[in-house]
Structure 1
C-alpha cells in the first residue's frame, strides 16, 4: 500500500547535510499594498518538528497556502522534497498535495461519513480499492488510539477524538510532510496535551516531518525541535526551542514567551525606584538591587548555590527557577541583592563570569 510519490529532483540538503523536505527562499506574497509574506526564507529538515509561531495576521496562514499551492507567491522559491513548485500547473500540483498531510483547528470531518470512511477518503480519491483503503484506515485508527470507533460518526466523538480522526486521515496517503494548522487551539488543556503527545509519537515512530503552526508558545515548548517566529510577514527569530526560550532576541518573541517564562512579579515591579536598567551596578544605599538572571546549560542548576558562597551578605530569590527544555537546563531567576557595599556589582561580576545574562531592573527600599 505504498503512496504515490512526487517526482523530485536531487534531494535538497541543509547546511549541516540533513535532507530538507521544505525550503523557502525569499518568498513574498502581497495582497494589494499589504505584504502578507515579506521575504521569508525557511528550511524544514527531514524528520524534525518545526514550530512556526506568530500572532493572528503575522502571515502563518498565507505561508501554509503557499506551501500546498493554494496561493502562488509573487516572488521567491518554494521547494518540496527538492522540487521547485511555484511554477507548477494545477494538475502538476496534485501529486504534491498528496505528499502533504493537513490537520485543522476545526477538524473538517464529513458528518455523513463514518470515522473509517473519513480516514479512507483520500485513498478513495486516489482510486484504492475499498478493501485496501479500509484496511489502511483500520491500521491508522489503531495508531491514533481509535480502533473501536471505526463505525461511529463524528457527532458521537469528543473534540480530541475528532482531531485524532483528522490526524489519521492526514496520514492516509503516507505524506512526507504533515502541516498542523492550530490543531489544538479548539481543545481543552488536557486534550491538547494528549494530541501533542500523539504527534510526538508519530514523529518518532514514522520519522514524519511536521510543520506545526500555532500562536501558543506552550505548544512549541512541548513538542517542537526548532522554532521560527513570524511577525508582519518576516521570520524575526529562529533556533532550537531551548535556545530561544533561554535568550529570546526580539520583542515579538519576548511577548510570545511572557506567559510561559517567569517574569518579574508585579508587586516588585510596582516598587521599583527606577525602571529597567535604571540602577547602576554597585550603587549604594539601603534596600535591594533587583536583577534578572538568564543562563542555559550545565551550570544553570548550580548558579545560585555558587552565588550564595560568593556574597557574604547573601541575596533573596524573588521568583524563577530551573526548567528542562529539550534536555537542556534553562534558568531564569529574579533576585534581590543588597545595594550597599558594592554587593550588586560583585553579584553581577560573578554571574557574568559563569556565563549568565544579567539585567538590572532597579532598586527597591527594604526587601522585595
Structure 2
C-alpha cells in the first residue's frame, strides 16, 4: 500500500468521498450490479477491476449519475445522488472529474479551450478560466501546447489534456474509465505516474476502472474485484498480489506475477514418491525473510526453481516456486505456516528439479 494514504475500513464517515450501499442495477434478466457496497476514502487511489461484463461500466455510470440504480444508495461527499433530479445533479457532477479511454477532446478547439471548457460552462470569466487552464497545463507537463489542436498531439498528450480538463473545476473525485487502455506501455507508465503525482500533490481521490492488473499494481492503494456485478474480493493492493482469495482474482493476476514454468508444469504427476513442487505466496515483511528462514530448516533438500520478491507499493511481495523431497513435505508445510506463508501443493515430478 502506498505510504501516503492509509485507508481503513474503520475510517469515520466524514473521510468517505464515495459510499455505496447495496447498489443494484438490472438490464432485463442481467444483473449488472448485484448488491455492491464500498467506501472510497478521501485521498486514496482505489482500483476497480474485472473482466468485460463484470459491471465496471455500469458502476461508473451510476457514480456520475448517468444511470440510476434500481436499489441502494450512492453518496458523494455525504449526499445521496440516487434521489436527485437532473437540476440538482448538475452541481454535484462538478465534484466529479472524468478521464476517458478515447480522450473525448473537441477537435475544433485548442488545448487551452478544451481544458477551460468546464469553466466556461460554469460561467467563469474568460481571463480567469484561461489562467486556470495555463496552471493545469503546467501541472500535466504541457506548457507551451495551449494553442495546439488535438490532431497535433500524441495519444499521451491528449490524455494529459483530458486529465487537465478533469481537474479544471477542482473536483473531489477523479474517475478514470480505462484511461490507459488505448496507450502504449511506455505512455501508460507516464500517465499513471502523473496520476500518482497529482494524487499526492493535491490529495485528490481517484477511482480507477480497469481490466488491467498492471494499472492497479502501479498506483492503487486498494483493489476491488468485480465479477458478474458482485464484489468478490477487496483488499490493499499488495495483499491482493501476495494472496488472492477468489478464482477471478487469480485469473486476472496470471499474466502479471510469476507462474510455474510450462516445461515443469507439463511434468507434474500425482506420484507421491517423487519431488514435490510447491508455491508460497508471502506478503509484507515475511517476504524478505522467507527463503532465508525456510532454507535453514532444509539446507540440503530445497530448490528455488522460479519466482522471487517484487515490491507492490511500499510492501515486498514474494512468490516462490520450490521443489523438495516428498518425505519432507509435512515438515515444510508446518514451517511455512509458522513463517506466515500461504502454500499450495501443485503436484509432483518423477525427477528432482
Instruction: Output the CA distance in 2 between the equivalents of 1:307 and 1:86.
Output: 54
Instruction: Indicate which of 123, 130, 155 corresponds to 1:127.
Output: 123
Q: CA deviation at 1:221?
A: 0.5
1:293 pairs with 2:293: no
Match of 1:330 in 2: 317
Match of 1:348 in 2: 333
Match of 1:316 in 2: 303
Q: CA deviation at 1:308?
A: 2.2
Match of 2:94 in 1: 98
Match of 1:364 in 2: 349
Structure 1 unaligned regions, length at least 5: 1-12
Q: What do the CA deviations read for 1:169-227 (whole angstroms, capped 9, x no partner)?
A: 00000000000000000000000000000000000011000000000001001000000
Match of 2:135 in 1: 139
Q: CA deviation at 1:266?
A: 1.2
Aligned residue-pair number: 345
Q: CA deviation at 1:38?
A: 0.7
Q: TM-score, normalised by structure 2?
A: 0.95
Contact 2:219–2:313 (CA under 8 A) maintained in structure 1: no
1:16 pairs with 2:11: yes
Match runs of 1:195-214 below 5 Å: 195-214=191-210
Instruction: Output the CA distance in 1 between the equivalents of 2:72 and 2:316.
Output: 39
> What's the RMSD between the two structures over aligned residues?
1.3
Instruction: Output the CA distance in 2 between the equivalents of 1:134 and 1:87.
Output: 35
Q: CA deviation at 1:14?
A: 6.2
Larger CA deviation: 321-330 vs 164-173? 321-330
Contact 1:14–1:20 (CA under 8 A) maintained in structure 2: no
What SS does structure 2 have at the residue aligned with 1:187?
A: coil
What SS does structure 2 have at the residue aligned with 1:317?
A: strand
Match of 1:248 in 2: 244
Q: CA deviation at 1:312?
A: 4.1
Q: CA deviation at 1:298?
A: 1.6
Instruction: Output the CA distance in 2 between the equivalents of 1:320 and 1:116.
Output: 48
Q: CA deviation at 1:314?
A: 2.3
Structure 2 unaligned regions, length at least 5: 1-7
* Larger RCO, structure (CA 8 Å, separation 6 or more): 2
Q: CA deviation at 1:264?
A: 1.2
Match of 2:5 in 1: none
Match runs of 1:264-279 below 5 Å: 264-274=260-270
